[in-house]
Amino acid sequence: MKPRRPKAWLGYLWFIVALFVAVMLNGVVRPLMAHWLGGERVERGASSRGGDVYWVFDAATQREHPVATTFLGWSHGQIGLVTLAVILVCGVGGWIVGAVTKAAKP
């Protein structure tokens, strides 16, 4: 009997998880963090899908929370590009691992 192949959608699970994390960051986590830190929302550009959003903070908040304010200073577009880069790296890495393990089998 042939071994069963996992369902096709399981191969794309990493892709779905990465997109979910990016959407949750841009839609929920980052706005809440900015609200708690007292950031001022800046929206650049106008399109049918909305503008690119980031937050700015006063100098005292930036000194107290340098990592958080830097992260919130990135725009939604930058978060999206980082997500796409992670997806690309994971996809190419998975492809390489699969090719190497397939080539190593006798």
Residue 36 has pLDDT above 70, yes or no: yes
pLDDT tens-place string over residues 67-102: 999 999 999 889 989 999 988 998 888 889 888 888
Please determine, for residue 1, whether its predicted confidence score (pLDDT) is greater than 80.
no
Q: What is the pTM of this model?
A: 0.74
Q: What is the DSSP string of the chain?
A: -PPPPPPHHHHTHHHHHHHHHHHHIIIIIHHHHHHHHTPEEEEE---TT--EEEEE--HHHHHH-HHHHHHHHS-HHHHHHHHHHHHHHHHHHHHHHHHHHHHH--
pLDDT digits (tens, 9 = 90+) for 50-71: 778 899 999 999 999 999 999 9
Q: Who's near 52: CB < 8 A, 6+ residues apart?
A: 43, 44, 45, 75, 76, 77
Residue 45 near residue 51, CB atoms below 8 Å: yes
Does residue 41 have a pLDDT over 70?
yes
- Which residue bears the tokens 């950031």? 39
pLDDT of residue 44: 84
Q: What is the mean pLDDT of residues 38-46?
A: 87
Please report the pLDDT score of residue 3 as a whole number.
66
